[in-house]
Amino acid sequence: MEKVSIKQPETIERSEFLKQVGIGFGAIMLMQCIQGCAESEIPDPNPTTGGTKLDITIDLNSSTYATLKNKGGFAVISANRIIVAQTQSGTFLAVSSACTHAGTTVTYRANSNDFFCPNHGSVFRSDGSVQNGPATAALKRYNTSVDLSNNKLRIFE
Ligand code: FES
């Protein structure tokens, strides 16, 4: 007569089972947290560099920048994600235009000489630092150099 052996299923203790399930669950939760955190990262306050320092010159005679002709006027340079304002006669400042909270384009407020985000109300000082949240990171401040005789404004890092 042929001998048949039946292998018994391996058994583990209940506590060992729970420990293994718990480790697996923890690993899944950790991965989801990492993915979730990456998606809600603060917008890059320095979006234009990409390894190259920003250095652009704009023509203040261009109709594109007509709003910059007057004290208190501002313009957004979308291609470089920069906002430029003439804060005093002949004095310009430039900061990154994407709010560091969720990326909404900020506007310049001449009356208070600051940058305001219309999305959730963050306020940034003229140097780009945060005055009121929810944003917690500053806008990047750029250097400016104006040549009024040629109506050129250089914005650079
Ligand atoms: S996106 Fe600017 S405050 Fe939220």
Classify 79 as helix, strand or coil: helix
Whether residues 103 and 69 share a domain: the answer is yes
Classify 90 as helix, strand or coil: coil
Whether residues 148 and 82 share a domain: the answer is yes
Residue nearest to atom 4 of ligand 1 (CA): 120
Q: Decide if 122 is inside a domain.
A: yes
Alpha carbon of 156 to ligand 1 centroid (Å)? 25
Classify 126 as helix, strand or coil: coil
pLDDT in the model for residue 109: 96
pLDDT in the model for residue 89: 84
The DSSP annotation for 35-72 comes to HHHHHTPPPPSSTT-TTS--EEEEETTSGGGGGGGSTT
Q: Decide if 7 is inside a domain.
A: no
Q: Decide if 74 is inside a domain.
A: yes
Whether residues 85 and 131 share a domain: the answer is yes
pLDDT in the model for residue 52: 83
Residues spanned by the domain of 118 = 55-156
For residue 155, the Cα-to-chain-centroid distance in whole angstroms is 19
- Cα–Cα distance measured from residue 155 to residue 146, given in angstroms and rounded to the nearest whole number: 9
Q: Decide if 4 is inside a domain.
A: no
Q: Decide if 138 is inside a domain.
A: yes
What CATH number should be reported for the domain holding residue 62? 2.102.10.10
The count of domains in the chain is 2
Residue 75 near residue 18, CB atoms below 8 Å: no
Q: State pLDDT tens for residues 51-88.
A: 688 999 999 999 999 999 889 999 999 999 999 999 98
Q: What percent of the chain has pLDDT over 90?
A: 60
133 lines ligand 1 (CB under 6 A): no
